Amino acid sequence: MRYIRLFLITQTLLYSQNSNIHAFLPKTNALNMSFSLEKVNDTVDIFNVKDSEIKKKSSLGDMKGVNFNFGYALSDKWYFNLNLNQKSLNYSAYTLTNREIEFYSRYMLYRYDNIAFSMDFGYIGNRANNIFMDTLESINDVLEDVTPNREIELKEINSQQVLFYRGEDGSVKTISLENRAFVSIKDTYDNSFYTRAILSLKKEAWLFDTYVGYKESKVHNKIDSSFSNEKNPDLEKELKQITLVQNRTDKMWFVGLGTGYTLDKVQLEVNYRYNYINRIKSLNKVKDNHILNLNINYNINKNLKCFIGGKIMFHQFNGEIPYLYTVYNQGSFARKHGFADIGISYEF
């Protein structure tokens, strides 16, 4: 999978576009701004995710997005950061657009020589666009997620939509639908507040970071479908559960480790984070996520830098965009998702 980012950026060395979870703060009145364009394409699948993880050899889901980041050091103790992001993710026959806003303040509680300890207090909000799905491909994808243990498929025969399914006796049965099939996603969002403690150590050309945090998310999912009006005793339970209005609270604990090394014009960054999520009882198939980042930065000159790296998430976006995790797709979150990245930055 290929991931390309190009951005124009004002920053300090510690607060780079790739990583900004450091207890050390930029100098007072330092202004950090970045703008980035994001692009993911699964044509180049460097982690072999498609062949090893996905039964349908279709698409991992291309993505394009835009990101703006603004950071300001009010003093040698206080730092503020605002991040705005929009991603468009392609899933089969429809596109999900997610808009995210994140704000956090960082306060340095302690610094002695090359050791620092800081606390973050932040907010993250995600909101999905409204989606209306009425194609056979998109509806069959939903049916597969909702009924993983039953063979159900929607087909169109002479302008009549017919649901084929395997009965309990093993035979193939059909239902002629009374209504044209559709599934809609609307008014879907999440709001999260988090706190994070960071401990950092600088030693010659090395930088070491470790952090631990807690995030609580209020999630609202609303999914409507024509299947809730279909009358069939054999499939009534399966068809009605396609419709969902759910408010829930997710609680997540996370820990992370990071290290950076500078050698002349080259900086190497490695970051690892572990998420553990506690949800309601019906959403407990995949509770954690391991996320690994690797980036190599090269200083072309004083202002211009380029980088290449990669990221792999062992359980997709689990814990990153809370509303994406529902009863329909929690089984699919067990697979890996990864990409390589390449980009350039300019400091002024």
- Rounded Cα distance between 178 and 181, Å, is 9
Which pLDDT belongs to residue 344? 65
φ/ψ (deg, to 5) at 228: -65, -20
The residue written with tokens 């950071």 in the block is 71
Which pLDDT belongs to residue 330? 61
Ordered mean pLDDT values, 10 residues apiece, the chain (348 residues):
34 50 88 72 46 45 75 92 86 80 96 95 94 83 71 85 79 82 86 97 92 96 79 68 77 94 87 92 84 83 73 78 76 60 61
Which pLDDT belongs to residue 49? 44
Helix (H) or strand (E) holding 302: none
Token readout for 147 is 């009924």
Which pLDDT belongs to residue 19? 64
Which pLDDT belongs to residue 148? 65
Which pLDDT belongs to residue 65? 77
Which pLDDT belongs to residue 59? 45
Residue 37 pairs in a beta bridge with 6, 66
Q: What domains can be seen in the chain, in order of their start residue?
A: 2-126+192-233+247-346 (2.40.160.40)
- Rounded Cα distance between 145 and 218, Å, is 23
Residue by residue, DSSP assigns 273-292 as: EEEEEE--TTS-S--EEEEE
Token readout for 236 is 């009534």
pTM of the full structure = 0.80
Token readout for 224 is 């409507």
Task: Determine the length of the chain.
Answer: 348
How far does Cα 278 stand from its chain's mean position? 17
Contact 65, 99 (CB under 8 A): no
Token readout for 201 is 């150590």
